[in-house]
Chains A and B, each alone.
Chain A
Amino acid sequence: MAEVDVAHAEIEVEGLNKTFGRRDVLRDVSFGVERGGFLSIMGPNGAGKTTTLRVLATLLTPTSGGVRIAGLDPLDDPMPVRRVIGLISHSPLLYLDLTAYENLRFYADMYGVPERERRIGELLERVELSHRRYDQVRTFSKGMLQRLAIARALLHRPRVLLLDEPYSGLDPHAVDILDGLLAEIRAEHTFVMVSHSIPKTLQLSTQVVIMDAGRIVYRQAGRVDEGDFVAVYREHVNEGVAL
């Protein structure tokens, strides 16, 4: 089990199992993330990383096992949990036919964000998209879409951020903006990130787990040397890894 003081854990996952048909996608997955912690989940494709994240995001119900986020049980009542989590995925989760402003206004109204206009303006400014607020998202580049997706995820001030390969397809400028935003909000948020990038993972994380075939095969808390980690990764997962 992770070296986390469970009494102060923001996220607790215990004995998670998920089956699709006859296929076991998650097998007895357990971990904890302390408040303000940053857990990264690594592993080859099909290891169960995204499934784990989708269970945390209340988008999937596990076959068995327990989850608590900020002390709330999403399996019992997912609605309050949805108000405290934000998801940044490699898909932007934005409506292409709406403008940047209309997308943020839609999500702000769905979450009941107070002082909506000020919050939207502030986030568009922060992701450097104020000048494109009335343009349809369809006309945005991949990097701009991802920047707007970051604004969407932070709109309702979530305290837990779930990141599903957030750096995938980003240009260097968008990477800088995402890095800057994560650094700014780091102290008051708890993060779970799924990533294939070892340098990014080691730079950001307070905890790393490696999953393979639905199981956690390795876990490490604290700083890790990149060279050592690559060796550990190759030892546990017999596949290539993006460095």
Chain B
Amino acid sequence: MAAGAVGVGVVELPPARTSAGRQLYTIVKKDVISELRTKEMLLSMFLFAVLAMVVFHFAFTVRADTDLTYFTGGMLWVTFIFGALLGLNRSFVHEKDEGCLDGLLLCPVDRVTIFLAKMTGNLIFLLVIQALAVPIFTLFFVKTSYAADLPAFLAVLLLADVGVCAVGTLLATIAMNTKARDLLLPIVFLPLIIPVLIAATSATTGIFAQTASLGSLGAKLGFLAAYDVIFVLAAYGTYDFAIGE
């Protein structure tokens, strides 16, 4: 029977005073406020990123004139993927505390809105880490200026991040209800993210080494965009089951 229908014992619902957009904003705002209070995700992700860069620097700079330009894409994305994994593992911790996930699921909110909100939150945190880590990385490892290719680099970052967060949020949701969630997430996430890792690494190295042609860069961006669309749609179709029981 339709909501708001009048009949025996049927409730007359007041008009909804909220929308999916407002609910999405409300969940993201709640996650950002919580994170700013605890700084659990941001701090662990940032410390990992800095530590990885320090290790890479001392591991690969065997001589003062060692040129690491052709390794930069790999170093950068290995750092970001594992850093993101740390954040994704914690992205549902607050929801599991004190049964908050039940509170969220009791709200009249579409499950896809919850997915998009959690994904947006994870994306914001990853972008914050990247905004802090990329300048440090550039200082350590990039010898040439890539100012002219900055828009392309930002496009690679954004498209790869959306893919990482879409897959990561979906899998973190599934892993949250399992006993071995800390183990399950990396085991499933890392193989699924390999296509993004390859495309983003290759595009980033091309930008830093100034070897990327417009065509090859465009193809990689197109691939990343297609990956994003596929996994956001996959999450759209499966999230109700993923977050359900």
Contacts of A97 in B (CB 8 A): 33-34, 37-38, 94
Whether A70 lies near B108 (C-beta < 8 A) is no
- Tell yes or no: B11 within 8 A of A by CB: yes
- Residue among B23, B107, B245 with the highest chain A CB neighbour number at 10 A: B107
Q: Give the Cβ gap from A12 to chain B, nearest Cβ, in Å.
A: 8
A185 to B27, CA, bound (A): 30
Q: Which of A88-96, A168-176, A221-229, A231-239 contacts B (4 or more CB under 8 A)?
A: A88-96
Whether A82 lies near B108 (C-beta < 8 A) is yes
A168 to B221, CA, bound (A): 55
Whether A93 lies near B99 (C-beta < 8 A) is yes
Whether B107 lies near A82 (C-beta < 8 A) is yes
A7 to B8, CA, bound (A): 7
A112 and B11 in contact (CB under 8 A), knowing A80-B108, A152-B103?
no
A10 to B8, CA, bound (A): 10
Contacts of B94 in A (CB 8 A): 95-97
Contacts of B33 in A (CB 8 A): 97-98, 102
- Tell yes or no: A240 within 8 A of B by CB: no
* Residues of A within 8 A of B (CB-CB), count: 45
Whether B100 lies near A72 (C-beta < 8 A) is no
Whether B107 lies near A91 (C-beta < 8 A) is no
Q: Give the Cβ gap from A40 to chain B, nearest Cβ, in Å.
A: 21
Whether B11 lies near A159 (C-beta < 8 A) is yes
Q: Which of B14-22, B137-145, B169-177 contacts A (4 or more CB under 8 A)?
A: B14-22
- Tell yes or no: B180 within 8 A of A by CB: no
Whether A109 lies near B108 (C-beta < 8 A) is no
Interface string of A97-139 (1 = CB under 8 A from B): 1100010001101111110000000000000000000001000
Interface string of B1-31 (1 = CB under 8 A from A): 1011101111101101110001100110010
Whether A112 lies near B9 (C-beta < 8 A) is no
Contact partner, A9, options B9, B26, B244, Cβ 8 Å: B9
Interface string of A71-86 (1 = CB under 8 A from B): 1110011011011110
Whether B99 lies near A89 (C-beta < 8 A) is yes
User: Which residue of chain B is the closest to A105 with respect to CB atoms?
Assistant: B26
Contacts of B4 in A (CB 8 A): 80
- Tell yes or no: B62 within 8 A of A by CB: no
Contacts of B18 in A (CB 8 A): 109-112
- Tell yes or no: B102 within 8 A of A by CB: yes
- Tell yes or no: A57 within 8 A of B by CB: yes
Q: For residues 202 through 245 of chain B, which have their beta carbon under 8 Å from a beta carbon of chain A?
A: 244-245
- Tell yes or no: A220 within 8 A of B by CB: no
Q: Give the Cβ gap from B197 to chain A, nearest Cβ, in Å.
A: 32
Contact partner, A10, options B9, B26, B38, B107, Cβ 8 Å: B9
- Tell yes or no: A196 within 8 A of B by CB: no
Interface string of A173-198 (1 = CB under 8 A from B): 00000000000000000000000000
A93 and B100 in contact (CB under 8 A), knowing A7-B8, A35-B9, A112-B16?
yes
Q: Give 21 A-B contacts (CB < 8 Å), ordered by A residue.
A: A7-B9, A57-B102, A71-B11, A72-B1, A73-B1, A79-B108, A80-B4, A80-B13, A83-B16, A87-B106, A89-B99, A94-B103, A95-B94, A95-B98, A95-B100, A97-B38, A110-B27, A110-B104, A110-B109, A136-B37, A145-B98
Interchain residue pairs A-B with the least CB separation, the first 3 = A112-B18, A71-B10, A91-B99
Given A72-B3, A79-B110, A102-B30: 19 more A-B contacts, CB < 8 Å = A7-B8, A8-B9, A9-B9, A35-B9, A72-B1, A77-B3, A82-B108, A87-B106, A93-B99, A93-B100, A94-B98, A95-B94, A98-B30, A98-B33, A106-B26, A107-B103, A109-B23, A110-B23, A110-B109
B residues neighboring A (CB under 8 Å) = 1, 3-5, 7-11, 13-14, 16-18, 22-23, 26-27, 30, 33-34, 37-38, 94, 97-100, 102-110, 244-245
